[in-house]
Amino acid sequence: MSRCILFAEVPCFYASVERGQDPALAERPVIVGGDPRKHGVVLAASTDAAGAGVELEMPVVDALRLCPQARAVRTDMPLYREVSRRLFTCLRRGFERIEPFGMAGGYVDVSGATDASSLAENLRLRVRTELDLPMRVGIASGKFLARLAAGEVGEEGVRCIDPGTEGDFLRPLPATRIDGVGPKTAATLVQHAAHTIGDVVNLGVDRLEEIFGSHGRRIFALASGRDDAPVRASRHPQSLSREVTIGGEGTDRSVLGEHLLDLARHLEGELSRQGLAAERAVLKVRYIDQATQTRSQVLSRAVRSAPGIHEVALRLLERAQVGSRPIRGLGLQLGKLSAEAESDRQLELFPGGR
């Protein structure tokens, strides 16, 4: 049975999320980044903004000069993490085992499926219907090819590279599309008249190995459409997290405890929906000066209820020794997730941790 790998992602994730939050952005280029008045840089840009010359890490001020019709939006990581969580919940309703690829998508091994294209189209429609986000999907014999195929779709759609057509698909693409071909490697390839992936293949494996060493063999394999890297999938996420920004400059422990209880309730709901429990907790305290402090603990008994999670969070807060230093935000992460976890009991914490 030949391998069949599906790669699905929400393109330009931060910008797509912002468009989903504000319909007024649907027809405008979107730039996501820091405050332009404080020399903020671009962290993400919609496809139309990128087409106007906007690049990652350039100053937002310069990006707006290149694309004056764009809307610049401040980065909102808590929002992006929450939407990412909802996205993977949606993905796992269609596929049990997924290898995440960042916040915006992942790989699925669908070898043996009778109609992978229909699976991909149903997934795309589900993400659009439930989250109002675009999704592009690539299907091929390997992870590298599937991701390239998705990149050729544009904003939204499905592209399948049928077995035996890999070379036809790859040959015209720029050599820089090969994984591991960065600026230095690309410059060396140009010196050997290799501008496209087809040119790279024509150099031959021996010549590539002579130029790049063992890395040359990998470049040749990918350029030839050979990629046997496995999909390292799990049946559930490895961690869940929630954050809250405190409106004032909070230091009152009782108020902080209430925020932690709210976070614990949200996490309880997510654990319940996925049938999971956690054996590790991490508390993050973000101060008004942007400094952060973390405290973590491995649990002797798995936890899944809001009271149990809250109890652990309060212990971690005590260890953080918060006092008069103004606090801007709190985050709570649960890790070592398991579907076979026991019911809540009185928790005993192992000594130590950060």
Over residues 60-87, the pLDDT tens digits come to: 999 999 999 999 999 988 889 889 888 9
Average pLDDT, the chain: 87
Which among 224, 233, 114 is positioned nearest to 166, based on CA atoms?
224
The sheet with strand 30-33 has its strands ordered as 42-45, 30-33, 71-74
Which among 79, 122, 121, 119 is positioned nearest to 103, based on CA atoms?
79
CATH topology for 170-223 is DNA polymerase; domain 1 (1.10.150)
Mean pLDDT for 319-344 is: 74
Give the pLDDT confidence score for residue 353 in this predicted structure: 45
Domain ranges of the chain: 1-163, 170-223, 239-335
Which among 13, 80, 15 is positioned nearest to 46, based on CA atoms?
15
The sheet with strand 278-287 has its strands ordered as 239-250, 327-335, 278-287, 292-303
Q: Are 145 and 225 in contact (CB under 8 A)?
A: yes
Give the pLDDT confidence score for residue 350 in this predicted structure: 39
- Residue 3's Cβ-count burial label (10 Å; 0-12, 13-18, 19+) is middle
Give the pLDDT confidence score for residue 171 in this predicted structure: 95
Query: DSSP character for 150?
Result: H
Which among 9, 168, 33 is positioned nearest to 101, based on CA atoms?
9
Return all residues near 148 (Cβ < 8 A) that are at least 6 apart. 138, 140, 169, 170, 173, 177
Over the stretch 105-119, which tens digit does the pLDDT of each residue have? 999 999 988 899 999
Q: Is the pLDDT of residue 247 over 70?
A: no
Q: Is the pLDDT of residue 301 over 80?
A: yes
Give the pLDDT confidence score for residue 354 in this predicted structure: 43
Strands (E), the chain: 5-9, 30-33, 42-45, 71-74, 99-101, 105-109, 136-140, 157-160, 239-250, 278-287, 292-303, 327-335
Give the pLDDT confidence score for residue 92 in this predicted structure: 84
Give dist(CA 168, CA 280) in Å, integer. 48
Over the stretch 135-152, which tens digit does the pLDDT of each residue have? 999 999 999 999 999 999
- Domain 239-335 matching CATH 3.30.1490.100: the answer reads yes
Q: Are 147 and 138 in contact (CB under 8 A)?
A: yes
CA atoms lying within 13 Å on the CB side of residue 64: 15
- Domain 1-163 matching CATH 3.30.70.270: the answer reads yes
